[in-house]
A and B are shown apart, each in its own frame.
Chain A
Amino acid sequence: MRNGIVLLLLLIISLMAASCEEDFNLKSDYKPRYSLNCIIRADTSQHTAVITRSYMVPGFDPYEYTDDPFVSGADIRLWYKDNVFFFRDSLIGREDTSRFKFPQKIYYLNDFTPVENDFMEIQAVLENGKTLQATTRIPRRIKWDSSSTFLLPIPGADKFDIAWLKNNNIGWFLLRLQLIYKRDGINSPSESAILPVRYDGDTPVFPQPTKNSGITFQWSAFERTIKAISENVQDKSKVIIYGVTVELLVFDESLSKYYSNLNGYMDDFTIRVDQNDFTNIEGGLGIFGSYIKQVTGMKIQSDYIHSLGYGVPN
């Protein structure tokens, strides 16, 4: 009797163990998801869009997948002031062919130049009827703040500011200063060097997307950059300094939220998300946004340029 009870218990425990066993697979069932990415620039009439689908790889390394994830045959339309623009598809060369061996497919739109503060809507209908759509409003142009420095150097200062007046509190910006020069006289090609805000040891720290209304540059970083351009140049007097171009990208709300989610916090309740998780596309993934680029110039005093042994344009 006792042996029977023991045997019964062993049988039940085996059943329990076997009944709960199941094959465990890290991959769930594959269900395609679609991503639409399109950034409209107000400073050009040519725009592109890309639609891709999610894919399943044989193993666990995404780079094992080398088929084309581009989704062809989509009907992409852009609404702007009661006008409708149709994207067309095309092929462009791919610089990095280590993974995908074929040309890059894109959708493109020519002869379309939006104006600041205008509203746009994009809609992509895939061949299976799946619809991806989103909206954006072109950001408004900003004005440069009077505290900005547009003439260098500032006597006695160890830093200088580039500042602007924000149109709202949600916009993000990306600033880039480029030193324009020629290395070998007036007939040599123009070159440029991006100015870092500072150096971290020997590592230059370049401006990052920001929601602030200005960026401060260390003068020492500027000097280090302008002196570095004549490295390996035998005759420094042939180096001609033209000045600095100041480029500011003003992002729309969608791109601002994107950068905010990646880099900062919109408010106390916002959490950072991964790049791939952010989307403003209804019905799928990706991002539809816009930005405008504002460019101005910064002069460098001739005396300072001469003091470095460089020349100025006539």
Chain B
Amino acid sequence: MKIVRIILLVLPLLFWSCDKEITRSIEEELPYKNAIIIGSNPAGAKIYIDGKNTGQVTPDTVLWLKTGEVKVTLKIDLYKDSSVTVSVNPKDTLQIFLDYTTNKTMFGHMYIDSNPRGAEIFLNDSSTNNVTPFKIVNLMPGYYRVRIKRSEHWDEEKIIPVKSIATTYADIQMTDSIYWVNLNSHRTDIPTDYLTSVAIEKGFIKWIGTLDKGLLIYDDRKWTLYDMSNSLLPDNKINYIYIDRVNTKWICTDYGLVKIENDKWTLYNTGNSGLPDNRISSVYNDETKIWIGTYSKGVVTFDGTVWNEYNTQNWPLPSNRITYLTQTWNAIWVCTDNGLLKYSDSTHIRVLNSANTMYPSAKSGCGFPTNKLITVAIDKIGKAWVGCARDDDKPGGLAYEKLVYFRCFPGKPSEEVFSIYVDLNDIKWIGSSANGLTKCVTSRYSETWTHYNTNNSKIGSNRIYSIAVDGNGHKWMASFDGGLIKYKGN
């Protein structure tokens, strides 16, 4: 009995002594590899799960989804968002596919208007057989190329977005082609908008110099390009183009002078001729000899046999840097960076500059604006019009001969006057660095100025380097950033 008592006493001790409390962390349950394969037509829809962007786009598989109901939303640019709730479980891999193209609730509309109205509407190059204003309904969302055409106006083209269940309004401004025609690289096949010179052959063929693409010919139908790769041109930068009375073309470059006589090309440079400088600024043919202006060696003449140099050493040239030369009224006019030389014959030579062209009584504001001459033209009564460049802090501008002195217009039409053309009606057409085309009509005591610039007209550029007039009296302008510009006005 005693033994039994002892055992009963000790046994609980045995179990109690080994008793210990154990805490165990809960086993972490890894997620199931629940997945949905999601596709769409068109592809590329952003996939949202329960309102959260996954960063994935269709077609793709979204993994590690929670078990249970999941809201899948697809978003694609311009289309209405689409959502579906699906039940996800580890046993089945769901597949979702949304075909937007067969869902009519995705359609959108486009309303096209134009100024002026009545333009024919083309959608992605196909005619709609409708004219503006017109509403095109039930279009699939997307970006549409809309082109409108109207007589006497430039075709206009725009990319118009169409969204689901919405109407996109497009109001297109059209540009008239009655007075202004801008032949730039956006509208035509012209290879560059940076032009330096224009001259006209036979009243309609335009010869155009470019900054870096060579020589262009435009006959109102097609562009023909001559450059260093397919011609004798020594450089693709053309300084000046001159066409003489027998239609010989003279192309001035920084690497010599090119003569194009019929289809025969001849290159003159310091290596094969009497030219003292390859940098040619201008040229003139007085039918006895060619007068050539160079950028550092003065004037050169060539009579077909003999080359003669005229520079500050042997001629009253104010500078050897010739910017332009021409002949009219039996005188050669030579623009330099230090004044203007008028040469009639060896006994009638006059150097004009800002000091000696000023009215004696004037304190300022008369005479040449600066001595940096860029261009000269002679009007119907034999008076000279000169264009000047800026000279340090002095603005250039325009000046013209009045009696024996010059009326001057510093900063007018802008600080640099690149070209002056006198038409048959003695109207002066002036191209400048920042004010487009300027028309100047003079009376006995005053001038009437009309400026055509990008703010008040359809002219495509404010930077007009060169002006020529065709057989119809249309002005053609080489602009430095807007291509070739035609003005039909008078």
* Chain A interface (Cβ < 8 Å from any Cβ of B): 4-5, 8-9, 12, 15-16, 19-20, 31, 77, 79, 82-86, 125, 128-131
Contacts and interface: CB of A to CB of B under 8 A. Distances in A.
Contacts of B25: 31
Nearest to A83: B53
B75 to A, nearest CB: 10
A77 B17 CA distance: 54
Contacts of B7: 8, 12
Contacts of A129: 30-33, 63-64
A4 B14 CA distance: 20
A20 B18 contact: yes
A15 B14 contact: yes
Interface in B4-40: 6-7, 10-11, 13-14, 17-18, 25, 28, 30-33
A84 B31 contact: no
A131 B28 CA distance: 12
Contact of A128 (B11, B18, B30): B30
Interface of B: 2-3, 6-7, 10-11, 13-14, 17-18, 25, 28, 30-33, 52-55, 63-64
A16 B30 contact: no
Given A12-B10, A19-B18, A131-B31, A82 B53 contact: yes
A173 to B, nearest CB: 33
Main secondary structure of the interface of B (DSSP, over half): mixed
Contacts of B11: 12
A16 B55 CA distance: 63
Most A C-beta atoms less than 10 A away, residue of B10, B11, B63:
B10
A134 B143 CA distance: 39
B53 A84 contact: yes
B3 A5 contact: yes
A161 to B, nearest CB: 46
Contact of A8 (B6, B28, B32, B54): B6
B55 A20 contact: no
A79 B28 CA distance: 26
Interface of A is mostly: mixed
Given A82-B53, A85-B55, A16 B6 contact: no
A294 B64 CA distance: 40
Given A82-B53, A83-B53, A85-B55, A19 B14 contact: yes
B79 to A, nearest CB: 17
B490 to A, nearest CB: 58
Pick the 8 closest A-B CB pairs, nearest first: A84-B55, A129-B31, A20-B18, A12-B10, A129-B64, A16-B14, A84-B53, A129-B30
A264 B17 CA distance: 44
Contacts of A8: 3, 6-7
Contact of A77 (B3, B18, B55): B55
A4 B7 CA distance: 13
A82 B55 CA distance: 9
Contacts of A31: 25, 28
Nearest to A32: B28
B30 A5 contact: no
Contact of A84 (B33, B54, B63): B54
Contacts of B33: 129
A68 to B, nearest CB: 22
6 contacts: A16-B13, A16-B17, A125-B64, A129-B31, A129-B33, A131-B64
A130 B6 contact: no
Contacts of A130: 30-31
A83 B13 CA distance: 66
A164 to B, nearest CB: 36
Given A16-B13, A19-B18, A86 B55 contact: yes
Contacts of B31: 129-131
Interface centre among A79, A85, A129 (most CB of B within 10 A): A129
Contacts of A20: 17-18
A130 B33 CA distance: 10
Nearest to B15: A19
B11 to A, nearest CB: 8
Contacts of B28: 31
Given A5-B3, A16-B13, A125 B53 contact: no
A20 B14 CA distance: 9
A239 B35 CA distance: 67
Contact of B53 (A5, A16, A79, A128): A79
A112 to B, nearest CB: 13
A296 to B, nearest CB: 37
Contacts of B17: 16, 19-20
B32 to A, nearest CB: 8
Nearest to A75: B63
B314 to A, nearest CB: 51
A86 B57 CA distance: 13
Contacts of B18: 16, 19-20
Contacts of B6: 5, 8-9
Contacts of A15: 14
A86 B53 CA distance: 12
Q: Which of B18, B32, B54, B55 has the most CB of A within 10 A?
A: B55
Contacts of A85: 55
Contacts of A12: 7, 10-11, 14
A277 to B, nearest CB: 16
A9 to B, nearest CB: 7
A208 B39 CA distance: 53
Contacts of B54: 77, 84
B385 to A, nearest CB: 52
B50 to A, nearest CB: 13
Given A5-B6, A129-B32, 20 more contacts: A5-B3, A8-B6, A8-B7, A16-B13, A16-B14, A16-B17, A19-B14, A19-B18, A31-B25, A77-B55, A79-B52, A79-B55, A83-B55, A84-B53, A84-B54, A84-B55, A85-B55, A125-B63, A129-B30, A130-B30
A83 B46 CA distance: 10
A114 to B, nearest CB: 16
B121 to A, nearest CB: 36
Contacts of A9: 6, 10
